[in-house]
Amino acid sequence: MNREDFPMLKEDLIYLDNGATTLKPQCVIDKMTEYYEKYSANAHRGDYDISFKVDQEYEKARELVRKFINAKYKEEVVFTSGATESLNMIASGFFKKYLEPGDEILITQSEHASNVLPWFRLANELQVVVKYIPLDDHHYVTLDNVKKTVTPNTKVIALASITNVIGDERPIKEICEFAHQNNIFVVMDGAQSVPHRKTDVQDLDVDFLAFSGHKMCGPTGIGILYGKKELLEEMEPQNLGGGMNESFDNPREIYLKDLPTRLEAGTPNIAGAIGLGRAVSYLETIGMDKIEAYEKKLRKYAMDKLISIPHLDIINIEADGGIIAFNVNDVFSQDVAYYLNKYKVCVRAGNHCAKILNQETGVSNTLRVSLYFYNTESDIDSLVELLSNKEKIVEEML
Amino acid sequence: MENREILLNHYISSPYKKEIYDQTYTKIETKSDSCIDHLHIFLKKENNKLVDAYFNGEACSIATSSCSILLKNCINKNMEEIKEYIENFERMINDEPYDEEKLQEAIVFKDIVKQGNRVSCAYLPYKGLKKWMNE
């Protein structure tokens, strides 16, 4: 759907790496260009018209994001550089203060590096423990397994709502309900889910949420940290400097601004934030439910065809997100990716930053096809045709 | 032999690819920044000469065959000769004048290195060998 909105799709390109980043619609590009061409002043300097316009647009973008995830307050929406920075802020800005030696952090082996390493750092710094929730035979997280892994020392559960290699969706709402009954916080890495289905932080009742703009038709270098207001109030800013302080006289007298500005030190990524706001309205116009349904249908269409290719080893026949991870038997994934590239088909090869997932699946590298709403059945047909002839792959990979 | 055949032979049945870890050899890891190629190269030096070498790891056909050809061409050479060999290969990938003959089978990468980021695959084992020589 909506292919005509994307300048990149005017080229002869089959882009199937949407888990890495998405293409940008013209309206987002135009919105950012408009900032650079018509009012490219700094934020928080309302002394003249164009700066006042910046503040208006910047805060409008925040409000658009707030509505998009149904946060209760605008102050709960913090602009960051992306999901990675958001998750680091959550771990080092909030949990570093909160956790005590012996406390447990629960993650899984299918998390992205950005939802593993910030916790590993805390484990080293605070003598807290990172534990893995076991996955079921299909690499899914079940509420039962969460319950079995939780102990009286568990203080936080940090999970991707949809994972970036397996594409499984976690029962976040149920996990939150159980966690909160046991005084456990829940951190949701929404990088692979927020772009693809409706997200309602109040309904889910998550404590923190992180996601990136560039995976949802927005620009790179911008993302969101959502946190419940009372928790963000306790968050230690990781960056101190301009824009976020109220006043300071000496090291003991530093007064910071209110949320969310306190957590956005320095000149923000203004064009990025405004671009993300535009991307959010664009997605809303299409409809998140429609996007989710379309992607599911397209994934099924792809799976029905791919499954009949005998030399493919598909890692995730079942998945909730539009992600398909597979290998061509006896051919290194990267060689297949290079072969597909010759036909302008973009897929990713590798471990996709989920570097401990191989302990779970036994497979260290895969090809990954990740879909978005602008992909078509014709894209899939081309992929299937290229993959169906193994001799051709081996012949042309060199 | 056609270039493709040389590459395939070194990729599929390289005599220098061995799934062992001999602790009497120096182990060098060389890993790509932009893709998943990851090679382990094992080297044995005696009297300023590379007397034996082998490799293993996970890498694409280009990085694997390049490593195999590199080792084949460097075993029994002294450090100065290896340095010269590597510099000659670097001149080829940088589009500078180089000695085709001295590259021997590595000349098969002449066109491949012009294919975007595959140059980093072909060069990966050279990076590893340079690391070893500078240690």
Domain ranges of chain B: 3-134
pLDDT class for A351, splitting at 50, 70, 90?
confident
Contact B60 A364 (CB under 8 A): no
Question: Tokens standing for A381?
Answer: 């047909």
B91: Cβ–Cβ under 8 A, 6 or more apart, which residues?
Answer: B97, B98
Min Cα distance A223 → chain B (Å) is: 23
Q: Which of A139, A150, A153 is nearest to A175 (CA)?
A: A150
pLDDT class for A209, splitting at 50, 70, 90?
very high
Min Cα distance B87 → chain A (Å) is: 24
Q: Residue A280 above 80 pLDDT?
A: yes
Unique residue bearing structure tokens 């300097």: A45
Percent of chain A with pLDDT over 70: 97
Residue from the list A334, A397, A398 with its beta carbon closest to the beta carbon of B36: A334
Q: Residue A395 above 90 pLDDT?
A: no
Question: Tokens standing for A370?
Answer: 């990740």
Please give the single-letter amino acid code of residue A284.
E
Contact A338 B36 (CB under 8 A): no
Cβ count near A313 (within 10 Å): 12
Write the CA distances from A66 to A78, A90, A177, B51, B114, integer angstroms: 10, 18, 22, 65, 47
Contacts B37 to A, Cβ<8 Å: 334
Which CATH number is A288-396 given?
A: 3.90.1150.10
Contact A398 B4 (CB under 8 A): yes
CATH of B3-134, one of 3.40.50.300, 3.50.30.50, 3.90.1010.10, 3.40.50.720: 3.90.1010.10
Known catalytic membership, residue A27: no
Residue from the list B8, B35, B59 with its beta carbon closest to the beta carbon of A398: B8
Q: Residue A295 above 70 pLDDT?
A: yes
Contact A334 B35 (CB under 8 A): yes
Q: Residue A362 above 90 pLDDT?
A: no
Q: Name the pairing type of β-strands B38-46 and B26-31.
A: antiparallel
Cα–Cα distance measured from residue A190 to residue B103, given in angstroms and rounded to the nearest whole number: 50
Closest Cα in chain B to A395: B4
Contacts A332 to B, Cβ<8 Å: 58-61
Contact A334 B4 (CB under 8 A): no
Contact B36 A351 (CB under 8 A): yes
Cα–Cα distance measured from residue A157 to residue A100, given in angstroms and rounded to the nearest whole number: 15
Question: Tokens standing for A100?
Answer: 């005590």
Mean pLDDT over B98-115 rounds to 87
- Per-domain residue ranges for chain A? 26-285, 288-396
Q: Residue B32 above 90 pLDDT?
A: no
Contacts A333 to B, Cβ<8 Å: 36
* 3-state SS assignment for residue A153: coil
Residue to test with chain A: of B11, B56, B60, B117, most A Cβ within 10 A: B60
The answer to whether the beta carbons of residues A79 and A277 sit under 8 Å apart is no
Residue from the list A349, A397, A398 with its beta carbon closest to the beta carbon of B36: A349
Please state which architecture CATH assigns to domain A26-285: 3-Layer(aba) Sandwich (3.40)
> Under an 8 Å CB criterion, which residues of A touch B?
332-335, 338, 349-351, 364-365, 397-398
Q: What is the ipTM of this complex?
A: 0.76
Contacts B112 to A, Cβ<8 Å: 398
The answer to whether the beta carbons of residues A220 and A213 sit under 8 Å apart is yes
Tens of pLDDT, residues B33-83:
878 889 999 999 999 999 999 999 989 999 999 999 999 999 999 999 999
Tens of pLDDT, residues B75-91:
999 999 999 999 999 99
Q: CA angle A250-A253-A256, nearest 5°?
A: 120
